Amino acid sequence: LPELFEVRLTGLGGGSRPPFWFSRLTVRSIETARNLLERLKQALAPLAAFRSRDDADLAALVRASVATLENLGGTADGGLGELYAGDAGEKLAELLRGLVSASASLSFAATEWPDIMAALIAPETVKPAQGTDRNIAIWGALEARLQTVDTLVIGGLNEGVWPRKPESDRFMSRLMKTGIDLEPPERRIGLAAHDFQMAMGAKKVVLA
């Protein structure tokens, strides 16, 4: 980034007809831009090291991605509280921990990593925390399995919503998912049936 900035800056200033705004640039603003780009270069360095790799390892790329995220999302004093704050932050931390601890080995071109990461994140859902009313709770199927309540409302009982239809992944085939210990999509149908059967054991059930 700093090198590209210098090339672009020189090209704009050395042309016969520079842009109208070029004369407004001050030495201070240019130095500020240089410092910012240098910091971005350092923050992105863990991932940038894999840029031209055709045999990048999944675990190594995950660790590099975590390091880059923490470099970009950390506060001035190095704290990571804001990056992993809230329900979304906790879910992100949980996902990254699972990927880092994956024992399977998978190699691929580093240019495919954004699509693979998007495919890994796609099934995840961030559920809102419980509200202020202690008598009402919103749970997912996993949280509701071991809960006992007087009245249970089962929502989302529409075809294709619950159970969710198994979908083929554009970026990760079944063989690739098996190679990194990911579950087949059909397993979710069996889990949904099991969760529904357990939910029907509540004292009062409302189907919605």
Number of domains in the chain: 3
Q: Do 146 and 189 belong to one domain?
A: yes
Q: Which has the closest alpha carbon to 110: 71, 70, 67, 60?
A: 60
Domain boundary among 75, 108, 126: 126
Same domain, 104 and 176: no
Specify whether 150 is located in the same domain as 183. Answer: yes
- Per-residue pLDDT of the chain (208 residues), as tens digits, is 788 888 888 888 777 788 888 888 888 998 999 999 999 999 999 998 888 888 888 888 888 998 998 888 888 787 888 888 888 888 888 888 888 887 667 788 888 888 888 888 888 878 766 555 677 878 877 778 778 888 889 888 887 777 777 666 666 777 777 777 777 777 778 888 888 888 888 889 888 7
Q: Are residues 142 and 207 in the same domain?
A: yes
The parent domain of residue 85 ranges over 49-126
Out of 106, 126, 146, a domain closes at: 126
End-to-end CA distance of the chain: give it in Å, rounded.
53
143 and 191 assigned to the same domain: yes
